Amino acid sequence: MVEISNNKKLLRIALRNCGLLNPEDIFEYIALGGYESLGKAITQMTQDQVIDEIKKSGLRGRGGGGFPTGLKWELTKKQKSQEKFIICNADEGDPGAFMDRSILEGDPHSVLEAMAIGGYAIGARKGLIYIRAEYPLAIARLSTALQQAGENGLLGENIFGTDFSFDIYLKYGAGAFVCGEETALINSCEGKRGEPNYKPPYPVEEGYWGYPTCVNNVETFANIAPIITKGAQWFASLGTEKCKGTKVFALVGKIKNVGVIEVPMGTTLREIIYDIGGGIPGGRKFKAVQTGGPSGGVIGEANLDTPMDYDSLISIGSMMGSGGMIIMDETDNMVKIAKFYLEFTMDESCGRCTPCRIGTKRLYEILNKITSRKGTMADLDALKQLAYMVKDGSLCGLGQTAPNPVISTMKYFWDEYLAFIKDVDHPRGEGRYTAKNKIGIRS
């Protein structure tokens, strides 16, 4: 893994310790100020003060949705229940993303510390980390970290001599992308099939075994300790108006500098790709970048100056997702890329709801027909119509976002679709075909 350092545009908060300390030695973490925040939170602050600090910092969940973390904690705290849980979502199933893995392998204690702070704030005594089985090194490092934290009294009974007790357990995934969705994740933690549930009730109301449960992403947790020590104001001074702090991205694909980067929110794609990523190798031209993995969309040259934050990305038809960024050059065919993603979501659809189970399969079939040059304009029409049906009709985020790659490639790379169609005169231009239904085919 290449770490691209020495660039002024980078700013490390979540990755602050990665590569700098030995992740298997808790004392190195403590020497760099580790577990100070936990001490401060539980000895000097009330639960509400901790929540307030996180709320004021403007931290939003890094798992994809961008839900305000402080608010989620507050909602969980407000629930009346003798038991509550805090869960760390380390499922990172998005192909081409390895930000969470870098944090877990490089700085596992930052996650443990933050979970304890979160546990204190919401009133949970138990935390779970749901981690995918494909990450054996991260599992090993977490186990070591858990053991060392336990031995040093930083987890367990009466932490820092207070009456706050907190323990963390590991739960293993078994290879299912949908388990990253929080309700599916909770089912999987319970040892069941990882199918999502209808929301509401939200996990903060009824989660793990029916108890209020707060699910947060690894990177979200990695931001907590600095906010507690340095203060909400410092954090809120970084980033854009609506998105504070930094975001970690995994830069992969056709790019010179492959690796994990952390930049302030609002950095533009152009800065990321050219100034940090070093541009496209082999003298080829940039074509598009896919953000948000299979749930996101492609972004072409025209939108390269979009600042990276949750809302701007949604407005151009993609999404932040967890932070995978796949760069494609002029040799990549966008229809095939869309087909690749559909193959993924079709495979990973859990089958619980019909629009997603059957819709993704039909979308894939149409795309397959198109790429084998058997498609007609009517197929393009059907593709678009179906894409919106799946988007609107699915139960969970998987199905609701699965058509995004299709919709966005149709929007920005329409002529590549046309090039595959047999009944069009001008392969690279507009066809003669006129739309028959409301949705229409012209983008």
Partner 1 sequence: MTKPQAIDVNPSFKENLPKEKFDELDSFVNNLETTRSALIEILHKAQKIFGYLPRDVQLHIARKLGIPGAEVFGVVSFYSYFTTKPRGKHTISVCTGTACFVKGSDKIIERVKEKLGIGSNEITEDGLFTLKDVRCLGTCGMAPVMMIDDKVFGRVKEEDLDNIINSYRNKEL
Ligand X SMILES: Cc1cc2nc3c(=O)[nH]c(=O)nc-3n(C[C@H](O)[C@H](O)[C@H](O)COP(=O)(O)O)c2cc1C
Cβ atoms of 285 and 270 within 8 Å: the answer is no
Cα–Cα distances in angstroms (integers) from residue 48 to residues 41, 123, 245, 276, 374, in the given order: 10, 11, 22, 40, 62
Binding mask 143-162 for ligand X (x = CB under 6 A): --------------------
182 in contact with ligand X (CB under 6 A): yes
Q: Which of the choices ligand X, partner 1, none does residue 235 contact, using the CB cut-off of 5 to 8 A by kind?
A: none
* 91 in contact with ligand X (CB under 6 A): yes
63's contact among ligand X, partner 1, none, with CB below 5 to 8 A by partner kind, is ligand X
Q: How many helices (H) and strands (E) does the chain have?
A: 19, 9
Binding track, positions 325-344, relative to ligand X; x by CB under 6 A: --------------------
CB of 433 to ligand X, least distance (A): 35
Instruction: Give DSSP secondary structure letters for 293-338.
Output: GGGS-EEEGGGTT-B-SHHHHHHTT---TTSEEEEEETTS-HHHHH
Rounded CA-CA distance 147/134 in Å is 21
Give which of ligand X, partner 1, none residue 188 binds (C-beta under 5 to 8 Å, depending on kind). partner 1
CA distance 90 to 59: 18
Q: Which does 254 bind (CB under 5 to 8 A by kind): partner 1, ligand X, none?
A: partner 1
The DSSP 8-state label assigned to residue 231 in this structure reads -
Candidates 34, 58, 70, 93; binder of ligand X (CB under 6 A) is 93
Q: Is 309 in the site for ligand X (CB under 6 A)?
A: no
CB 189, CB 179: distance < 8 Å: no
Measured from the CB atom, the residue of 219 and 416 that comes closer to ligand X is: 219
| Cα–Cα nearest to 171, from 116, 107, 126 | 126
Say which entry of partner 1, ligand X, none residue 64 contacts (CB below 5 to 8 A, set by partner kind). ligand X
Looking at residue 261, the DSSP 8-state letter turns out to be: E
17 binds ligand X (CB under 6 A): no
Q: How many residues does the chain have?
A: 443
Token readout for 213 is 């449960």
Q: How far is CA 312 from the centre of its chain?
A: 16
Q: How many residues bind ligand X (CB under 6 A)?
A: 25
Residue 63 Cβ vs partner 1, minimum distance, rounded to whole Å = 16
Nearest to partner 1 of 177, 413 (CB atom):
177
Task: Kindly state whether residue 404 participates in binding ligand X, applying the rule CB under 6 A.
Answer: no
Residue with tokens 């904690």: 73
Q: Give least dist CB 100 to partner 1, A.
A: 9
- Residue 271 DSSP one-character state: I
Pairing of strands 286-291, 324-329: antiparallel
Query: Which residues of the shown chain bind partner 1 in the complex (CB under 8 A)?
Result: 1-2, 92-98, 101, 133-136, 171-177, 188-195, 209, 250, 252-254, 258-259, 290, 293-294, 324, 326, 328, 332, 337, 340-341, 344, 350
187 vs 220 by CB, closer to ligand X: 220
**Amino acid making up residue 50:** V
| CA-derived radius of gyration, the chain | 23
Q: Which of partner 1, ligand X, none does residue 217 bind to, with CB < 5 to 8 Å depending on kind?
A: ligand X
Secondary structure of residue 84 in the 3-state scheme: coil
Q: Kindly state the smallest distance separating residue 309's Cβ from ligand X, in Å.
A: 14
220 binds, among ligand X, partner 1, none (CB under 5 to 8 A by kind): ligand X
Residue selected from 122, 260, 398, 441 as contacting ligand X according to rule CB under 6 A: 398
Cβ distance to partner 1 smaller for residue 53 or 348: 348
Closest CA to 247 of 215, 213, 222: 222
- In the complex, the smallest distance separating the C-beta of residue 101 from partner 1, rounded to whole angstroms, is 5
Q: Does 65 bind ligand X (CB under 6 A)?
A: yes
Least Cα distance to 354 among 389, 305, 322 occurs for: 389
Among 263, 327, 353, 396, binds ligand X (CB under 6 A): 396
Structure tokens at 49: 């003060």
61 touches ligand X (CB under 6 A): yes
Q: Compute the least distance from the CB of residue 88 to ligand X, in Å.
A: 8
Hey, CA dihedral for 408, 294, 358, 417, is it positive or negative? Answer: positive
Smallest distance, Å, CB 258 to partner 1?
4
Min dist CB 132 to partner 1, Å, is: 9
89 binds, among partner 1, ligand X, none (CB under 5 to 8 A by kind): ligand X
Cis peptide before 200 (omega within 30 of 0): yes
For residues 189 and 242, give the distance between their C-alpha atoms in angstroms, rounded to a whole number: 33
Binding site for ligand X (CB under 6 A): 61-65, 67, 69, 72, 89, 91-94, 178, 180-182, 215-217, 220, 322, 396-398
